[in-house]
Structure 1
Amino acid sequence: MVRTASIALALIAFTVVSASAEPSIFWSSDPVGPDETVIVTGDHLDTVTAINIDRVPDGASNAKPAATQSVELLQQNAQSVKFITPRDLAAGIYRFTLVYPQGTMSKRLNLPTVYWSQTARGDTVSPGGTIQVFGRNIVRRSAAARLVLVPEAAGQPVALPAASGDLWRGSFRVPDTLPLGDYRLRLSNGDGGDDEFVDAGRIHVVVVAAENGRTFNVRDYGAIGDGAVNSAFAIRAAVDAAQQSGGGTVYLPRGRYLMTGTLMLPPGVSLRGERTDIVNLVWQDAENPPEALIAGTTNFAIEDLTIYASRHGPIVTGGFLKDQPLPNASDIAIRRVRVRASAFRGHLTPLQTYQRMFYLEQHYGQYLDTIRLTGDRLTVSDCDLVGSGRALFLLKATNAVVSGNVLNNGRFGWYSITGANRVIFENNIVAAADLQGTGGTVNNLWTDVTGSENVIFAHNTFKSMYGWDREAVGTDGGGGFYFGPVSSLAPDRLSLPGPANEQIIATTWVGAIVMVADGLGAGQFARVARFDPAGDDKPMSVSLDRKLAVNLDATSVVTIVQMHQNYLVVDNTFEDTGVAAVFYGTGLNHVLAGNVSVRTGGFFARGMFYHHFQPSWQIQILNNRITEGNAYQAGPDRTTASGEALIAVQAVRPAGLMKQPPLVRGVIVRGNRMDEDSHIEISGVSPVFPGVRDVVVEDNVIGASRVGLVIDRGVQLTTERRNTVNRIPR
């Protein structure tokens, strides 16, 4: 008990010493242009007496600064303040200054906010390769934007111009003559001067080791390729020869190769056809199909061939051993592969169909995958997939690229990106090949996954999804670790009185996100670096991956949940889906921008109680378009039988759990165009316990709608300006 008392005294001393009335800034919304509203969140912002703003000059750092202007403080309170940028400020980087009794504090808007950097090989690139940078305000002026590579050792920095880019991403080509070594990345988006570069990560410039150039033609090992004689033994012999020689390419010339069993690809071996349309691997109907048709553990590729299968298990698996991910799996590529697999071929009676469905349910549940991969540096490109379940399952994928594919989900099928970090999902067509197929999610539904982050969905088409909840792009992760009071033991260590949540999916807390939901320090977040369970004389505690700017006290409430952060859903087309995109709690720093919706339920940002308190913070819904808003069996959970599509910001709480902090904080809904039968809804439900706070609804155009714009009394601190609403009679 002596130890408990000493901890309590230390807490009191810590709180007194760290108390301060000076303001802190946690987040400010951008991108932002002239005459647009900015949300600033932080602590002690009610002490701010004035806000001044100026535009940072472009060019040399000694350029003459622009005149400073004063702006009005809007909806000011301890946790947030809003202001409108002056109309006469030209587009660019802005600097705003908070004035308070003890001094001033400045921050810049429209600087690059780098979420992550990625190459085709993760954080490694070869001379002549490309580095991509993702986030907000990445390229604002393409002619002036540049990525500077600063050598960690001796040498001169090298500036790379932007090969292409926009607000959300930029591509930069590495010179062929760049010296090998380690570099720090510094990014300018083209606005501002020399002081407006930001860190953008690190990169290793190396020469990629040449692959084993030996080729093993399956015809030399007895494969006939006539579609009648079993070629499995001969192809396995070619694979074995490649493995014994240290790797190489197993080559299949034109032909139809009859297969049985699982074809295992060892590390360093590639399976390559002469051309996708003239090389077919054919697995016939089998009472007990193999665990996978083609499988490998690490460092293998499948290219330029077509796979046919009837009754089947997973088509291609990589990085797994007995359904569990291998810890060091990497460098798996599936390129230009066509799959035509159906467990329901033939003249099946309803009873036979049911029996096959029952078999699949028993053996695979909802997880019969066409392509199933885990590991680092994964590539699925230019494939055309039709299977009986999920088109694609990526588990704990890092530095993955899914590009240029046609992904057809089968019966009860969906795509699943689980526990991701740095995933590019672009230029794909995603649809359902079965009326019971649906879309997919980024999720944390795995026992040792505590977070998913840094994912971009760009320039994809999602269409024709009629099964399940019909989500084209969604986030998911039920449960959580802790919700309740907290106190600071140190700036990076918190005491949790308990109890822990019993509804926990993950088996570890490390990597989960800690979000301060209420009280002193609300709006801050960090990640769990270590969890210490309760002991006889001490409560639970967590150590954080960084220090909090404001220490917490008896008023503070935190939620600790599986993390979702830094998702970019930009420039996609959605057609005939239940929702176009929905961010369920937990969500942090997501962007929905430039998307087009046709006959979907619309776009949603939701904080919710999904077996746990799961907030949604700092979400921006920008410049999307809904062309045809008719929604049928649509919306999250198919709650709209027939109605209008909508852009919605919602706090969703059961009736008995209204007495909670706001679930949604800091949302921008700007520049969206809604042509027909669609509207905007901001809903916090309870005026006594508002579920949503700090929202800007600005410069949106709502066409013919029976609803228009709805902001209910459960929304606290909303700025609504310059929206055009065309209401029609109900």
Structure 2
Amino acid sequence: MVRKKIGVSFIFSFCFFLLIESIFGRPTVFWISEPVDPADGVVLYGGGFDPKEEIFLWAVPDDDPKTNYIPFSFAKEKRVAVAPIQVSDQSIKFQIPAVFPPGIFGIEISENRFLINRPQIEWCQPARLLPGLKQDETYPGSELCIIGKNILLTTEDAQRMKVILVPKKDGQPVILEVIEAEKYCCRVKIPDNLSPGEFNLLVHNGHGGPAGWSEAYFLKVVAVNPWPNKIFNVKDYGAKGNGLTDDSEALRKALQAADANGGGIVYIPAGTYKVRGSFFIPPKTLLEGDGMDFSWLKWPDNAPLGEGDFVSTAFFSSGQFSLEELSISIRNAKRVLVDSSALKDEEFMGNSRDWEDLSALFKGKVAPLKESPSDVFIRNVRIQFFPFYGYPKENIESSLLWKILKWGLDRMDGLGYSVALGSLSNVEISGCEIIGLRQRAVHLKNGRITQNSFYNPMGAFCLTEIGGERLFVEDNWFADESSFYRRLLPLRYLYVAHNQFSEFGRGNRKALSFNLNFPMGKKRETPLKHFSLTANLSGNEMSFKENILTKDSLVGQEIVVIGHSSKREFFVRKVIANSEQKITIDRGTPLPVNQEVTIYFLPWDRPLISMVSSSEAIKTTLTEKNISPGLVGMDALIISGKGAGQLRKITALNANTLSLDKPWDIVPDFSSLLLFYQWEGKAIFYENQSQDCRFLFPLSGLAYDVIFDGNQVKRTQGIIASSGFFIQWLNNVLDVAVSYPVVENKDPLDQEIRSLNFGALGFLIDPNMTNLSNVPFEVIRGGILRSNRLAFGHQIIVGLGSEEGEFPAQALLAKDLLIDHNWFEHGLLGIELDKGIRQALLMRNIFFDVKEPIKIKEKKEIIVKD
């Protein structure tokens, strides 16, 4: 009798286990390779997929969506069975039937149901920023830009698109006027009479009927909080504006009057105002002219006789200012416009002795702020910064311009900036013409850079650096080199569209490089005292020729050790001790022996990588025991093993157990490897054009969820990434591959991309990525290359791009690639896949006059359906 009870109990327990397994072990999807059209291949990423998985599809009808979401019914009689093409435990690949109409598609896998091509709002921002606005805020009467995926599927759908605001409290939905719409962004009108309040924002792309509405996105409508509007006309303070009289004192008095008023409008009527010296723009002050062709501020343009002729900066500020509708012309200056926010970045300060002069200007002008500085608006302003008038004469290296700015042949720390902004929120630069050596608008939160031109006709180096979080970059012209920059703030939520890149001269010829080398850990609280040093390496010790350090001043500091060999290997280490002349670092992967190296000091702590001991709900316990409390607020990405590709935020820490902002979709286990860092990505690069550059948007480092769609390049080496999770290249056009020589980077953290004898689209893997962790992991996961056109020497590549390259020791570099419906013409090679690639699907690719269409160096788990 007892045995019978035990047997029944065992059977019950076993059946219960199977029930739980069927519920929680069924397939789960957390990423989809969308947007997709009929006949396109699709990648679903998640976990728990079975090799014999059944897939059912629906073409969701385009009924009237009304103004409320109704879930799709998934009626069995209307479904279509589709056979998977490639299945692994973590992904499944299949093809949308060609007979389906374009639109939203329903998917069912083991009773797990969801929609493809449904709109997804990722962030939003007013088209014109006003003082006091914060993230996800707009105001009555504004035009709101909505950024996300599947906003519009085809241009023909624009007339059917709908956007509504639903009050969080009681109230009827408000249908918004759609002013403009395209694939990843739309602009809508917020009614002038809409009362401030909290709303849910929803988008419908014209497909899917009531089931086609996006998930609700929180939006707050706030009342405008304008600055003081009292006008201070510079002519009332004695200015003439005739280009002859010195109007410096009049301008200074007008600015001081605005400062005493708590802000205001300093008005510069049409005319040319001769000024000299530096001017402080007080908080809540608008410096406004009658148009940049009519109101000119002009500094002396004589040839400089001594260093004293150079002003430290023409304008300086501390946030909360605006420049509009005027032109600035200046020759003898070290900078033109510097905000105190830029000084938070130690690299901007550099080692320049001129720093003391700039500090003296800000003394007493920068009041302590309760919040981070914000509200900077530069609209319709021309800055002509011409320090290099004329021609260099004899004894160039002893000339004054060489001493101060090296005639533009080298970049001097903290010098040569037309604009220098950093660590600001709510920033707009629009309609401007910026001429000069360098432009910097970095570490911005909620920023807009639109309809500007950045260039340098003086023939020397030109560099434009931008960066931040929720950054809208559209309709600009960038001449010569440009890049995204990040030291104090990760790069994420970027929209980069309809920009032009051309006129590349000296430098590395990169167009808006997207450099994420060295994942960002927690920002260091104490400022850095050094940026880069040259040392001799022996074992785990580095020595200097002179006593340049303070004993134990660098203990705990993260450094990058970069070898001087042709391989340019780098290694991340922590300082465990230092004397005045020597640094001792922790041990890890072997370092180069007895050679000269460059040491670069990181402004953040090294990201933690750890295995998982156990995980349940929002709790995850790590095998690592000594966990820093600084992990709270950081992000956790599963980079390998079960659940790979999922991203969460850490909300609490108890010993070695983490609390997350939400449970994992797929619970990690002992096979899972977690990276704790500040994630970067969620970027969209849409319909940009470039010519004669080395690379457009070269992406290095571990980016997450990035789309390159509809970009066009000509006479370049292509569009590439070194690694990343869920990177998509769609509908890009690469025409005429041209090879350019490698240029040594000025920034050691910037990836040095070797010169290729072909043009490339895809992943040009950087072997140094494997030095980031002692535990190997796949540096590429979920790569999509679809409907691209490559001609005259361009090819798709996933690999090292060199027969002579030293292949990394780890066996597996990339997983889950889809290379679908690309057109190749007039080239030696079409598609090249290197070793260490698994779960790749090649389908529907077309080759015309290509000598070797496909080259696969290690055909394991790779399917070719061409």
TM-score (normalised: structure 1): 0.86
What does 1:699-714 correspond to in 2, within 5 Å?
699-714=821-836
Whether 2:735 is the aligned partner of 1:627: answer: yes
Instruction: Find the residue that maps to 1:553 and give its secondary structure.
Output: coil
Instruction: Find the residue that maps to 2:513 and give its secondary structure.
Output: strand
Deviations 1:60-115 (A, max 9, x none): 5589957211111222111111111112111111111112xxxx111210011222
**Deviation of the 1:264 alpha carbon:** 1.2
What does 1:324-343 correspond to in 2, within 5 Å?
327-343=371-387
2: CA distance, partners of 1:76 / 1:729: 31
Instruction: Find the residue that maps to 2:287 and give its secondary structure.
Output: strand
What does 1:430-579 correspond to in 2, within 5 Å?
430-432=478-480, 438-441=481-484, 443-446=485-488, 449=489, 451-480=490-519, 481-488=607-614, 490-498=616-624, 509=631, 512-530=634-652, 538-539=655-656, 542-579=658-695
What does 1:51-450 correspond to in 2, within 5 Å?
51-60=55-64, 67-99=78-110, 104-119=111-126, 120-121=128-129, 123-140=136-153, 141-284=157-300, 285=304, 287-288=307-308, 289-318=310-339, 320=341, 323=344, 327-349=371-393, 350-351=396-397, 352=399, 353-357=401-405, 365=413, 368-373=416-421, 374-388=423-437, 390-395=438-443, 397-408=444-455, 411-418=460-467, 420-432=468-480, 438-441=481-484, 443-446=485-488, 449=489
Question: Which amino acid in the other structure matches residue 485 of structure 1?
Answer: M
Moved more, 195-204 or 294-303: 195-204
Question: Which amino acid in the other structure matches residue 333 of structure 2?
Answer: H
2: CA distance, partners of 1:572 / 1:671: 16
Instruction: Find the residue that maps to 2:739 and give its secondary structure.
Output: strand
Instruction: Find the residue that maps to 1:194 and give its secondary structure.
Output: helix
**Deviation of the 1:588 alpha carbon:** 1.2
1: CA distance, partners of 2:408 / 2:321: 28
**Deviation of the 1:472 alpha carbon:** 0.7
Question: Which amino acid in the other structure matches residue 645 of structure 1?
Answer: G
- Closer/same/farther in 2, CA of residues 235 and 500 from structure 1, 3 Å limit: farther
**Deviation of the 1:567 alpha carbon:** 0.7
Ranges in structure 2 where 5+ consecutive residues have no aligned partner: 1-17, 65-69, 130-134, 346-365, 520-606, 744-749, 801-806, 853-866
Give the equivalent residue in structure 1 for 2:353: none
Whether contact under 8 Å (1:23, 1:48) holds in the other structure is no
**Deviation of the 1:368 alpha carbon:** 4.0
1: CA distance, partners of 2:737 / 2:190: 44
Whether contact under 8 Å (1:291, 1:314) holds in the other structure is yes
Whether contact under 8 Å (1:631, 1:640) holds in the other structure is no
Aligned-residue Cα RMSD (Å) equals 3.2
1: CA distance, partners of 2:274 / 2:710: 46
Instruction: Find the residue that maps to 1:633 and give its secondary structure.
Output: coil
Whether contact under 8 Å (2:518, 2:701) holds in the other structure is no
Give the equivalent residue in structure 2 for 1:5: none
- Closer/same/farther in 2, CA of residues 334 and 18 from structure 1, 3 Å limit: farther
Instruction: Find the residue that maps to 1:563 and give its secondary structure.
Output: coil
Question: Which amino acid in the other structure matches residue 483 of structure 1?
Answer: I
- Closer/same/farther in 2, CA of residues 463 and 656 from structure 1, 3 Å limit: closer
**Deviation of the 1:686 alpha carbon:** 6.4
1: CA distance, partners of 2:313 / 2:20: 58
Whether contact under 8 Å (2:88, 2:839) holds in the other structure is no
- Closer/same/farther in 2, CA of residues 154 and 21 from structure 1, 3 Å limit: closer
2: CA distance, partners of 1:551 / 1:333: 46
**Deviation of the 1:508 alpha carbon:** 6.0
Give the structure with the higher percent strand: 1
1: CA distance, partners of 2:138 / 2:42: 38
Deviations 1:253-284 (A, max 9, x none): 23333333321111221111222123222334
2: CA distance, partners of 1:338 / 1:197: 43
- Closer/same/farther in 2, CA of residues 590 and 529 from structure 1, 3 Å limit: same
**Deviation of the 1:642 alpha carbon:** 6.1
**Deviation of the 1:634 alpha carbon:** 6.6
2: CA distance, partners of 1:259 / 1:139: 51
- Closer/same/farther in 2, CA of residues 414 and 492 from structure 1, 3 Å limit: farther
What does 1:669-684 correspond to in 2, within 5 Å?
669-683=785-799
Whether contact under 8 Å (2:408, 2:461) holds in the other structure is no
Give the equivalent residue in structure 1 for 2:49: 45
1: CA distance, partners of 2:717 / 2:624: 39
- Closer/same/farther in 2, CA of residues 569 and 699 from structure 1, 3 Å limit: same
1: CA distance, partners of 2:751 / 2:505: 12
Whether contact under 8 Å (2:319, 2:375) holds in the other structure is yes
Moved more, 341-350 or 627-636: 627-636
2: CA distance, partners of 1:24 / 1:194: 24
- Closer/same/farther in 2, CA of residues 469 and 347 from structure 1, 3 Å limit: closer
- Closer/same/farther in 2, CA of residues 501 and 276 from structure 1, 3 Å limit: farther
1: CA distance, partners of 2:173 / 2:151: 20
Moved more, 629-638 or 304-313: 629-638
Question: Which amino acid in the other structure matches residue 45 of structure 1?
Answer: F
Whether contact under 8 Å (1:698, 1:722) holds in the other structure is yes
1: CA distance, partners of 2:199 / 2:416: 42
Whether contact under 8 Å (2:48, 2:89) holds in the other structure is yes
Instruction: Find the residue that maps to 1:694 and give its secondary structure.
Output: strand
Instruction: Find the residue that maps to 2:87 and give its secondary structure.
Output: coil
- Closer/same/farther in 2, CA of residues 237 and 363 from structure 1, 3 Å limit: farther
**Deviation of the 1:414 alpha carbon:** 2.3
- Closer/same/farther in 2, CA of residues 75 and 470 from structure 1, 3 Å limit: same
Moved more, 624-633 or 569-578: 624-633
Deviations 1:151-170 (A, max 9, x none): 12332111224322122111
Stretches of 4+ moved more than 6 A in 1?
Answer: 16-19, 359-363, 499-502
2: CA distance, partners of 1:653 / 1:218: 60
**Deviation of the 1:465 alpha carbon:** 2.5
Once the two structures are aligned, what percentage of the paired residues are identical?
A: 24
Whether contact under 8 Å (2:516, 2:699) holds in the other structure is no
2: CA distance, partners of 1:653 / 1:362: 29
Instruction: Find the residue that maps to 1:175 and give its secondary structure.
Output: coil
Paired residue total: 682
**Deviation of the 1:638 alpha carbon:** 6.3
Give the equivalent residue in structure 1 for 2:39: 35
**Deviation of the 1:18 alpha carbon:** 9.7
- Closer/same/farther in 2, CA of residues 366 and 240 from structure 1, 3 Å limit: closer
TM-score (normalised: structure 2): 0.73
Give the equivalent residue in structure 2 for 1:698: 820
**Deviation of the 1:243 alpha carbon:** 2.6
Whether 2:717 is the aligned partner of 1:601: answer: yes
Moved more, 646-655 or 361-370: 361-370
User: Larger C-alpha radius of gyration, 1 or 2?
Assistant: 2
2: CA distance, partners of 1:672 / 1:576: 19
**Deviation of the 1:720 alpha carbon:** 0.7
- Closer/same/farther in 2, CA of residues 124 and 485 from structure 1, 3 Å limit: closer
Instruction: Find the residue that maps to 1:238 and give its secondary structure.
Output: helix
Instruction: Find the residue that maps to 2:765 and give its secondary structure.
Output: strand
Whether contact under 8 Å (1:319, 1:375) holds in the other structure is no
**Deviation of the 1:542 alpha carbon:** 4.6
Question: Which amino acid in the other structure matches residue 187 of structure 1?
Answer: V
Whether contact under 8 Å (2:729, 2:762) holds in the other structure is no
1: CA distance, partners of 2:414 / 2:625: 33
Question: Which amino acid in the other structure matches residue 295 of structure 2?
Answer: V
